[in-house]
Chain A
Amino acid sequence: MIDFEFTPIMKMAKEFTHNYARDVMRPIARKYDEEEHVEPTEFIQKTHEMFRSLGFSFSTANASGDKEEKSEHKEKHERPKMEMNLLGAIAIEEIAWGCPGLTLRIPGPGLGGAAIMAAGTPEQKKRFMKILNGPKPSYGAMALTEPGFGSDASAVATTAVKDGDYYIINGTKIFVTGGDMADLYVVWATLGKDLGRAGIKAFVIEKGTPGLKMARLEHKLGIRASDTAEVVLEDCRVHKDNLLGGEKKEEKGFKGAMQTFDATRPMVAAMAIGIARSAYDYVYEDFVVKNGLEINYGKPLHKRGYIETVLEDMEAKISAARLLTWKAAWMLDHSLPNLKEASMAKAKAGTVVDEITQKAIELYGPEGYSRRHLLEKWMRDAKVYDVFEGTGQIQRLVVARAILDYTRKELK
């Protein structure tokens, strides 16, 4: 069963990341929100060195660890030595509390790394993770979305045509997080529309490969410290050794993409919770800590004030979302299938974060709407958490299919 007591490592990680978020990220959060597209060079370097010195790679790719090690623990019914996903969820919440845009800027394996870990062969994992965990700050991007689709990943239109030992890739990818700074891109392409899902493959393309071009950067509502790029592939030649999962395992491609999400959705949810908590903490600090408002938990509503109940409501929502997230992460640590739980966590956190950040502004009145405070930024940052890594609608579809035991055809 899930254990709610933090291990010493979890405690340490939480405290450490929180302090880092407070002392390093918060002070520059507004700057990189206002100056979209300016690279936070110093922050990247500093954070990279910090995590390296700790021997800890900060990334959603912690997500999928070594499967064998995990199942061994499962059989013995013990807590694995390191519940890396749980630890990741705890740490990433704190980091996102500092600034979610900067969080996505932290170098490391990133989403691309997560895909490599989920779908790569052992040789590929070793080869690519060496690059992503190297001495220089590096980043692995995931290029799945295209202008024509986002939710429906089976609609991949980017093509991969075999040419000897190489594949020639053509297509346009949009909304690639970190697409401006990535060292590796995991690009999803189809070997032929007639092959359906089985024909969809992921290719790892290194920065500087001819034919791979960053076309432009998006202007966004929030998480503006993180750049989102359009990436164009024009006759881009990729060696067959870079086809994730290898050429033989026909099924791995598409399933691999989807498995990435089992691991990354809880992390994205944890980030959303971090944002919700920043807004909650901000108003709590003001109303409760500074101005002595009492929260009378459990008292009947007619004995309580509005703000008091709003704050309690926020706290409950954060707690609900966090527990769903921890459960999803914990299941992954224990090699339990967590498709439904990962979607529940992401769906809940994705909406809760909007509700809380919206409400916090309202509690603060016209001041809350002003850019003198970070509240308005958090509301903008929050919105994407119900969109990327699968929209709220898609998460609910996944959950509904799971509980109803319906197939993709039975429930559209």
Chain B
Amino acid sequence: MTVNILAPSLFNIPLMLYGTEEQKKKYFTMNKPDQFQGFTSALVEPSVRFDTEALKTTAVDDVDDFVLNGDKAFVTIADSALATLVFAKKGSGEGLAGIDGFILPSGGFTVKEREKNQGLRALKQFSISLDGARVPRNEVLKLSGGFANLLARSRTASIALTTGVCRAAYEYALAYAKERIAFGEPIASRQSVAFTLAEMAMEIDAMRLMAWKSAWMLDKGMDTYKEASIGKRYAADAAMFITRNATQILGGHGFVREHPVEMWYRDARSFAVSEFMAIV
């Protein structure tokens, strides 16, 4: 749900940071403050070996336009977005530095099947095919090497999202552990349960601080790529520990849908593998 709602940020923040005055004017006036406007971006590609630094989607210069080819996957609200920012490699640029953004209007590409994921089931994501879509020059978002900065921003957001899910799971398990009686006492009075909760609390504090530090560095205009990348990985790992143990603390009740912890366990697995789900 949160990720659906945050989809426009994937479009608007890059535009705010790197857009031309003309682009900002065009798209920000389409944004209506009092209603949800579908804007999104497309980065991830459908491959087991997907690597942000080696995008397969290409943008080839052709007279007045760029011609986009390739497939993207897990594109949030691709079916309803007014505009989608597609990341692709222009020419022979290497690594992150060669990536630019290309703005496509709705209908500018083929929307394929809705993605079915393990968790995040409320999230509307789709595979799309670019099929030689043409993007006029004035709809190119020139990042001039700024893609690493965008990734740092999205990874910072990812740490914060992860912290939220972990906190939900932890708080639920904590309350349950104090209520649930086994062998005559609350299960929280057993050290194996209590220490697990303590470990969860430490990890949550650590990851939250990582999110805050990255955000603080971004605010200062510092290069945050390393900090955010480390934090994202760390938080994603810790999220598995936390959400898994939250279900474990509920015992069999953690395995059934009556309690939300099994959902958080499914949702948590997304954080290590997703890229660009939200951005700050």
Contact = CB atoms under 8 A, between A and B. Distances in A.
Interface of A: 145, 148-152, 155, 174-175, 218-222, 228, 286, 354, 358, 361-362, 364-372, 376-377, 379-380, 383-384, 386-388, 391-393, 396-397, 412
B262 interface: yes
B265 interface: yes
Most buried by A among B182, B255, B257: B255
B244 A354 contact: yes
B192 A396 contact: yes
A358 B240 contact: yes
A363 B104 CA distance: 31
11 contacts: A218-B257, A220-B255, A286-B48, A362-B269, A362-B273, A364-B48, A367-B73, A369-B270, A370-B115, A370-B117, A412-B190
A365 B183 contact: no
> Which 4 A-B pairs give the minimum distances between C-beta atoms?
A376-B118, A219-B257, A371-B116, A221-B262
- How many of chain B's residues touch chain A, expressed as a range? 35 or more
A366 B73 CA distance: 9
A398 to B, nearest CB: 13
Given A221-B262, A354-B244, A383-B265, A368 B273 contact: yes
A221 B118 CA distance: 10
Nearest to A363: B48
Contacts of A148: 181
A241 B133 CA distance: 77
Interface in B250-280: 251-252, 254-258, 262, 265-266, 269-270, 272-275
Contacts of A150: 182, 251-252
B87 to A, nearest CB: 14
Contacts of B192: 393, 396-397
Contact of B269 (A145, A228, A371, A376): A376
Contact of A380 (B116, B118, B181, B182): B118
A388 B255 CA distance: 10
Contacts of B165: none
B47 interface: yes
Contacts of A358: 240, 244, 269
A191 B49 CA distance: 61
Most buried by A among B44, B48, B244, B258: B48
B256 A369 contact: no
Nearest to A377: B118
Contacts of B190: 393, 412
B54 to A, nearest CB: 13
B252 A361 contact: no
Contacts of A396: 192
B147 interface: no
Given A367-B73, A383-B254, A391-B251, 8 more contacts: A150-B252, A174-B252, A219-B257, A220-B257, A365-B47, A369-B117, A377-B118, A386-B248
B269 A384 contact: no
B124 to A, nearest CB: 14
Contacts of A145: 252
A412 B270 contact: no
A112 B248 CA distance: 25
B216 interface: no
A365 B48 contact: yes
B50 interface: yes
B271 to A, nearest CB: 10
B41 interface: no
Most buried by A among B262, B269, B270: B269
Contact of B255 (A221, A367, A369): A221
B115 A219 contact: no
Contact of B193 (A152, A361, A367, A393): A393
Interface string B210-252: 0000000000000000000000000000001000100110011
B117 A371 contact: yes
